[in-house]
């Protein structure tokens, strides 16, 4: 084996073992998760397999459980590569491995279940935080680098270009939610910068810098609420009109990317001053500036140019049963798949804003240690977690307790999503444990990360689940 200079040395041995195993396979079944991180994981892994000359097929699963793993086992593949899931279901996967159904190779960042397997690349096994320092796409990227080094492929194709997709996955998993990426994620960013596919800049930390007209950019930037601008269209317009910056071109509003560096500086400073004058506290004002990850090879002014906008575009496909569309975009389709993705994005945006409105209108129920809501059939189960996370800090929803959300899956099953915050995790919150133990206590199953986790439970067990979850959170905090 050649020595792969993988970007995260602690994972080198695991990456090489996984790569070596894959290179022995006749063909590989690649299974991945249906969200932005799962799609980018699949895109990174499938590109790496292709470049290494390995035949493969890709499948997506909403959730990996006994049934979906049994379905995978029935396919006639000797090697199955799981990306962005697999660790949490290691017990079930290991049973299939022992039965000789397939050899698993796992590149994941979820909390592993209690079982062992040989080809397992997961940051948590080497003391790297899987919720904040490396995503599924990051794990797939480390594997891709090892594959490039060991496959005998043209060494100019060292797979560093795939770092851009890995960063989209990390940002999509909210790993930059405090303003920038950390730890192993930074090493991946450095690879992408060196390869010329990524650029990191300190910039205004609001969503939509590539695509939104300026007033909308400011009006909808709700992370830091600025009175007179946030959710205030007229306020945002008059704020922009009062500046000594030409914010329109040919009568239409410019976007952030259309401004010069000086103009951006002027708008950003004025925004900070405005926030100070309206009494926004200093720690929140700090959050107005953050690191932006730009995909240099994508066209300026498109969703694809900005890691955060790109990841939302991907969620808009995969969480609506169109993972094929998102994957095609990741793999370079800028024609019909990209057009379809943009349509799906409009639909996704509408669903998110309606979902948050629904939560604000119906409110949450507060227990001793957590708050929860049951959206029944009103919110799609594949996006209820995103909405739960976004609703924290909205009207009537606290950021001082974790939030649990229910959505109807079908007549028999209810989907549960849990979301916390960085400060709650520092105080001991681990939602992966809460979701796993509370769901198992009522006949379901779940897992995930400390700050964000999910479960499926039998319909009708919601209240019993809340009792267990409330008690476990109480013990943790």
Q: Indicate whether 352 belongs to the interface with ligand C5P (CB under 6 A).
A: no
Query: For 354-389, b where at least 16 C-beta lie within 10 A, e where not — what string?
Result: ebbeebeeeebeebebbbbbbbeeebbbbbbbbbbb
Contact residues toward Zn ion (CB under 5 A) are 37, 84, 135-136, 173
C-alpha dist (Å) from residue 463 to 29, 377, 467: 39, 17, 6
Per the CB < 8 A criterion, the answer to whether 364 and 465 are in contact is no
Q: Quick one: which of 7, 15, 19, 33 contacts ligand C5P (CB under 6 A)?
A: 33
CA 419 to chain centre: 13
Helix (H, G, I), strand (E, B) or coil at 448: strand
> Are the C-beta atoms of residues 173 and 167 closer than 8 Å to each other?
no
* Nearest by Cα to 415 from 454, 371, 460, 365: 454
**Binding to ligand C5P by residue 440, rule CB under 6 A?**
no
Is residue 290 involved in binding ligand C5P (CB under 6 A)? no
Residue range at the interface with ligand C5P (CB under 6 A); choices 23-31, 73-81, 169-177, 458-466: 169-177
Q: Which is nearer to ligand C5P, 369 or 449 (CB)?
A: 449
Site residues for ligand C5P, 93-112, by CB under 6 A, read 110
385 makes contact with ligand C5P (CB under 6 A): yes
Does the footprint of ligand C5P cover residue 136 (CB under 6 A)?
Answer: yes
Q: Give the interface size with ligand C5P as a residue count (CB under 6 A).
A: 29
Q: Which is nearer to ligand C5P, 7 or 448 (CB)?
A: 448
The residue among 37 and 187 lying less far from Zn ion, judged by its C-beta, is: 37
Q: Which is nearer to Zn ion, 135 or 210 (CB)?
A: 135
Q: Which is nearer to ligand C5P, 174 or 438 (CB)?
A: 174
| 335 CA to centre of own chain | 25
Nearer to ligand C5P, 131 or 433 (CB): 131
Q: Does 12 bind ligand C5P (CB under 6 A)?
A: no
Is 450 among the residues that bind ligand C5P (CB under 6 A)?
A: no
Among the listed ranges 83-91, 154-162, 188-196, 263-271, the one in contact with ligand C5P (CB under 6 A) is 83-91
Cα(476)–Cα(437) distance, integer angstroms: 13
Residues forming a β-bridge with 448: 453
370 forms part of the interface with ligand C5P (CB under 6 A): no
Quick one: what does residue 7 bind among Zn ion, ligand C5P, none, with the CB cut-off 5 to 8 Å set by partner type? none
Task: Please tell me the distance from the alpha carbon of residue 170 to that of residue 183, in angstroms, as a whole number.
Answer: 12
Stretch that binds ligand C5P, among 30-38, 43-51, 255-263, 265-273 (CB under 6 A): 30-38
Residues in the chain: 477
Nearer to Zn ion, 215 or 389 (CB): 389
Q: What whole-number distance in Å separates Cα of residue 219 and Cα of residue 297?
A: 29
Of 81-89, 303-311, 325-333, 462-470, the window that binds ligand C5P (rule: CB under 6 A) is 81-89
364 φψ region: left (φ > 0), alpha (ψ -120 to 50), beta (else): beta
**What CA–CA distance (Å, rounded) separates 127 from 190?**
21
Q: If binding is defined by CB under 6 A, does position 208 make contact with ligand C5P?
A: no
List the structure tokens of 8: 């995260």
**With contact defined as beta carbons under 8 Å apart, do 429 and 450 qualify?**
yes
* Phi and psi, residue 470, nearest 5°: -60, -40
Cα 208 off chain centre by: 17
User: Cα 201 to chain center, whole Å?
Assistant: 20
Q: Any contact of residue 319 with ligand C5P (CB under 6 A)?
A: no
Which of Zn ion, ligand C5P, none binds 63 (CB below 5-8 Å, type-dependent)? ligand C5P
* Closer to ligand C5P by Cβ: residue 240 or 434: 434
Told to check if 348 binds ligand C5P by CB under 6 A, we report no
Q: Is 419 in the site for ligand C5P (CB under 6 A)?
A: yes
| Part in contact with ligand C5P (CB under 6 A); list of ranges 112-120, 197-205, 257-265, 444-452 | 444-452
- Distance between CA atoms of residues 314 and 192, nearest Å: 20
Taking CA atoms, 347 is separated from 207, 211, 340, 344, 456, in Å, by 17, 16, 11, 5, 25
User: Taking contact as CB under 6 A, which single stretch among the options 173-181, 220-228, 235-243, 305-313 is the one that binds ligand C5P?
Assistant: 173-181
88 contacts which partner out of Zn ion, ligand C5P, none, CB within 5 to 8 A by kind? ligand C5P
Are β-strands 445-448 and 452-458 bridged in parallel, bridged antiparallel, or unpaired?
A: antiparallel
Q: Which residues lie near ligand C5P (CB under 6 A)?
A: 33, 35, 37-38, 63, 84-85, 88, 110, 131, 136, 173-174, 177, 385-386, 389, 417, 419, 446-449, 451-456
């Amino acid at each position: 084996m050649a020595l792969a200079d993988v970007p995260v040395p602690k994972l080198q041995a695991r990456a090489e073992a996984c790569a070596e195993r894959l290179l022995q396979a006749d063909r590989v079944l690649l299974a991945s998760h249906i969200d932005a991180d799962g799609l980018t994981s699949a895109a990174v892994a499938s590109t790496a397999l292709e470049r290494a000359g390995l035949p493969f097929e890709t499948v997506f699963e909403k959730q990996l459980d006994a049934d979906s793993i049994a379905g995978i086992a029935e396919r006639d593949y000797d090697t199955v590569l799981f990306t962005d899931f697999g660790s949490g279901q290691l017990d079930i996967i290991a049973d299939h491995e022992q039965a000789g159904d397939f050899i698993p190779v796992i590149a994941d960042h979820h909390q592993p279940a209690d079982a062992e397997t040989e080809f397992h690349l997961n940051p948590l096994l080497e003391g790297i935080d899987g919720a904040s320092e490396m995503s599924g796409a990051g794990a797939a990227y480390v594997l891709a680098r090892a594959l490039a080094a060991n496959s005998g492929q043209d060494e100019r194709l060292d797979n560093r270009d795939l770092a851009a997709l890995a960063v989209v996955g990390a940002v999509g998993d909210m790993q930059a939610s405090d303003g920038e990426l950390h730890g192993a994620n930074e090493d991946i960013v450095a690879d992408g910068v060196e390869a010329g596919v990524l650029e990191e800049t300190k910039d205004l930390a609001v969503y939509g810098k590539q695509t939104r007209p300026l007033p909308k950019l400011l009006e909808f930037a709700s992370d830091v609420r600025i009175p007179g601008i946030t959710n205030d269209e007229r306020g945002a317009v008059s704020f922009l009109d009062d500046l000594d910056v030409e914010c329109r071109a040919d009568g239409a509003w410019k976007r952030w990317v259309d401004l010069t560096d000086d103009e951006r500086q002027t708008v950003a400073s004025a925004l900070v001053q405005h926030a100070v004058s309206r009494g926004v506290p200093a720690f929140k004002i700090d959050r107005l500036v953050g690191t932006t990850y730009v995909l240099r090879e994508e066209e300026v002014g498109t969703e694809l140019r900005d890691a955060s906008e790109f990841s939302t575009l991907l969620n808009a496909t995969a969480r609506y049963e169109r993972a094929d569309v998102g994957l095609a975009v990741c793999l370079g389709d800028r024609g019909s798949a990209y057009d379809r993705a943009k349509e799906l994005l409009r639909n996704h945006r509408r669903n998110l804003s309606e979902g948050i409105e629904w939560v604000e209108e119906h409110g949450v129920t507060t227990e001793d240690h957590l708050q929860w809501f049951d959206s029944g059939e009103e919110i799609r189960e594949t996006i209820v977690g995103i909405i739960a996370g976004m609703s924290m800090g909205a009207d009537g929803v606290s950021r001082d307790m974790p939030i649990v959300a229910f959505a109807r899956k079908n007549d028999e099953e209810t989907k549960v999503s849990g979301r916390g915050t960085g400060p709650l995790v520092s105080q001991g919150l681990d939602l992966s444990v809460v979701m796993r133990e509370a769901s198992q206590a009522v006949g379901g199953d779940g897992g995930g990360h400390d700050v964000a986790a999910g479960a499926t439970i039998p319909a009708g067990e919601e209240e019993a689940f809340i009792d267990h979850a409330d008690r476990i959170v109480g013990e943790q905090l």
